[in-house]
Amino acid sequence: MAFIHFLKPKNQLEEGGRTAAPVQQDQGEPEKTCPNCRRDIPLSRLWANDLVCSCGYHFRMKARQRVRMITDKESFRELFAGVRAENPLGFPGYRDKVETVRAASGEEEAVVCGEARIGGQDCCLFVMEPYFMMGSMGSAVGEKITSLFEHALARRLPVVGFTVSGGARMQEGLLSLMQMAKTSAAVKRHSDAGLLYLAVLTDPTTGGVTASFAMEGDILLAEPGATVGFAGARVIEQTTRKALPAGFQKAEFLLEHGFVDAIASRSGQRKLLAELLKLHKRGG
Amino acid sequence: MGKMPYDRVKLVRQSGRPTGLDYITNLFRGFIEFHGDRRFGDDPAIVGGVAWLGESPVTVIAIEKGHTAKERTCRGFGAPNPEGYRKALRLMKQAEKFGRPVICFVDTSGACCGVGAEERGQGQAIAENLLELSTLCVPVISILVGEGGSGGALALAVADRVWMLQNAVYSVISPEGCASILWKDSSKAAEAAASLRLTAEDAKSLGIVERILSEKELGKKEFYHRIRALLEEELESLAQDSDLVSKRYERFRRIGSSAVCGAKESL
């Protein structure tokens, strides 16, 4: 089943994602309440700390902000930027929805792809966008991810990918479902050539993305507290009519059950990724 | 004229239709069932093993829903757990080792939705099947005989040929789920079923299935005879194809590519 989340209303946090940290001093600095520790955090402090609260709670992050955070300065060269889906099945309301989301998010689609350097290491990078229909995968996302793995294969580069997704995009029906097979096949070709694929699972990674390229990395990292699963927790609760265990589908739960290699806090990700890329480099 | 999309959904959910095991016993000779994923357990929602198709050994894998209420409960209503997908993968790799084709029968509302399934990595199990099936070196034919529910169905349908029974459905999400998420109203399922384009004709026009199988004499001798002949013929031609894996890649690679626009510039 696909579990699609919707675009959350714009808030100051997102607004800040597109430009430098907006600090307004006149009426007191804008604050954001941490859903974990309930404390109000000044936005400027949150920005300075890569959207991580002092209690360790990781807020969602826009794709381009993540690109800036993780890559070496001015090393990112975007690929396949113009790829976008129209309304291939003529699904009612889809075109308007996408247009609204495009305007609000400033993105054409739910993933940003390119070549970059991380700590001096060359790689191909994809970062999914939580503020574009919650990173749902339709034909364009599938096409961009597939093209990126093909590009990485041709260039013999590793792939680093940050996943966030509500699953397959139901407005593109079967075409979305097939992107799971398409992206997986591209991951396999890349993998069979002996190339590294590092996936970082961020909150939330669910449905058809979990059941395809998110789980297919050679190394799987997860951000602390990220929800990662196939079926949605609420759906499971409704289906089984039982209370879910504490911490169900959280990154730590996945670690405990053997489905991720490590939990990676945002502050250490850049260094860790660079080190892992370096460790897997062949022929020096 | 075919039935309306949502009528088909309701039709294929009925217990009177042939199930996975009916196809196995009627299409093949001497089926021997192999159990277990060698890691955790044996999932009764997926049945697999070896059998003869005419004079050739084949690996057959089917999602089994059961007919009676008791059978349906025992079979987990045809909603496989991770160990079911891992058993299927084990049998597919075994088929590859011994050079025999794989034939899958798909009929599921979706992968099992439960705490245990998540604890044992439902997403990872499906992902691994998609990954490994994409390069399996033997011919694979998948037939959707009833419900083709999302990733849980696709995990057995990354094939060289995908066929659908005339009334079978194949969808990214159930019409009820789609209606309740999009319109907060599960009673709009019929509308959702029409919008999702989940019929065999839709799947064929989207290039997702190659062949629609008539349901004339469904479950009768003639019906199985017809499908057996088609399988034999198709496997004979696939057996001569030395370029199977790259054609399978292209088969999935092109899906959705025409639905996107924008130049795919390269550096």
Per-residue pLDDT tens over the stretch B226-266: 999 999 999 999 999 999 999 999 999 999 887 787 755 44
Burial of A100 (0-12, 13-18, 19+ CB in 10 A): exposed
Q: How far apart are CA A129 and CA A111, in angstroms?
A: 5
Asked whether the bond before A204 is cis by omega within 30 degrees of 0, the reply is yes
pLDDT value for B2: 72
Q: What is the pLDDT of residue A23?
A: 47
Average pLDDT over residues B129-147: 98
Q: Give domain status of residue A17, yes or no.
A: no
- Examine the pLDDT at A171 and tell me if it is beyond 90: yes
Q: Does B168 touch chain A (CB under 8 A)?
A: no
- The per-residue pLDDT for B230 is 98
Q: Which domain CATH number covers B209?
A: 3.90.226.10
Q: How confident is the model at residue A27 (pLDDT cuts 50, 70, 90)?
A: low
The pTM of this model reads 0.93
CA distance B125 to B117: 10
Interface of B with A in 70-129 (CB under 8 A): 110-111, 113-115, 117-124, 126-128
Distances (CA, A) of A1 to A237, B14, B167, B180: 15, 20, 20, 13
SS3 of A206, please? Answer: coil
The token pair at A86 is: 């129209």
Question: Residue B119 sits in which domain range?
Answer: 5-228+237-259
Instruction: Please give the pLDDT value at position A86.
Output: 86
Residue B118 lies in a domain: yes
Q: Which residues of A252-275 are buried (b: 16+ CB within 10 A; e: fewer)?
A: ebbeeeebbbebbebeebbebbbe
pLDDT of the residue at B259: 75
Out of A173, A236, A259, name the one closest to residue B198 (CB): A173
Q: How many CB atoms are closer than 10 A to CB A179?
A: 31
Residue B11 inside a domain? The answer is yes
In a domain, residue A207? The reply is: yes
User: Residue A125 in contact with residue A67, Cβ under 8 Å?
Assistant: yes
CA–CA distances in Å: residue B265 to residues A128, B105, B156, B210, B252 = 20, 40, 34, 31, 21
Domain CATH code at residue A204: 3.90.226.10
Per residue in A78-98, pLDDT (tens digit) is 999 999 988 999 999 999 999
Per-residue pLDDT, averaged over A47-52, amounts to 94
Q: What does the alpha-carbon distance between residue B140 and residue A270 come to, in Å, rounded to a whole number?
A: 42
Q: What pLDDT, on the 0 to 100 scale, is given for residue B264?
A: 55
Structure tokens at A180: 């799971």
Report d(CA A205, CA A226) in Å as an integer: 8
State the distance between the two ends of chain A, measured CA to CA, in whole angstroms.
Answer: 44
pLDDT at B20 over 80: yes
Dump pLDDT digits (tens) for A100-111: 999 999 999 999
Kindly identify which residue of chain B lies nearest to residue A191, measuring between CA atoms. B131
Residue among A4, A3, A7 nearest A131 (CA): A7
A206/B3: higher pLDDT:
A206
In a domain, A220, yes or no: yes
- pLDDT-derived band of residue A3, with 50, 70 and 90 as boundaries? very low
**A230 φ, ψ (degrees, to nearest 5):** -95, -70
| B136 in reach of chain A (CB within 8 A) | no
Q: What is the arithmetic mean of pLDDT over B139-168?
A: 98
Nearest-CB residue to A245 (from B115, B172, B249): B115
Q: pLDDT class for A9, splitting at 50, 70, 90?
A: very low
Torsion of CA B11, B155, A167, A215, to 10 degrees: 160
pLDDT at residue number B81: 98
Domains in chain A: how many in total?
1
Nearest CA in chain A to B248: A185
Which residues share a beta bridge with B149? B171
- The secondary structure of B242-265, three-state, reads CCHHHHHHHHHHCCCHHHEECCCC
Let me know if residue B140 belongs to a domain.
yes
Q: How confident is the model at residue A17 (pLDDT cuts 50, 70, 90)?
A: very low
Q: Which residues of B touch A259 (CB under 8 A)?
A: 121, 124
pLDDT band at residue A26 under the 50/70/90 scheme:
low
For residue B264, tell me if it sits in a domain. no
Is residue A38 in a domain?
no
Compare all CA atoms of chain A with the CA of B152 and give the residue at the minimum distance: A1
d(CA A269, CA B173): 35
Query: Closest-CA residue in chain B for A143?
Result: B257
For a pLDDT cut of 70, what percent of chain A falls above it?
90
Tens-place pLDDT, residues A215-236: 999 999 999 999 999 999 988 9
Q: Which domain holds residue A246?
A: 60-279
Examine residue B33 and state whether it is found in any structural domain, yes or no: yes
- Interchain proximity B261–A88, CB inside 8 Å: no
pLDDT mean over B176-184? 91
DSSP assignments along A150-205, one per residue: HHHHHHT--EEEEEEESSB-GGGHHHHHHHHHHHHHHHHHHHHTT--EEEEEEEEE
* A vs B: CB pairs below 8 A: 227
| pLDDT tens, position by position, B57-114 | 999 999 999 999 999 999 999 999 999 999 999 999 999 999 999 999 999 999 999 9
| Residue range B187-194: mean pLDDT, rounded | 94
How many domains are there within chain B?
1
The total number of residues shown for chain A amounts to 284
> Exposed, middle or buried by CB within 10 Å (0-12, 13-18, 19+), for B243?
exposed
Q: Check whether A15 has a pLDDT greater than 50.
A: no
Q: Does the CA dihedral B20-A179-A132-A253 come out positive or negative?
A: positive
Q: How far apart are CA A44 and CA A249, in angstroms?
A: 31
The verdict on ipTM greater than 0.90 is yes
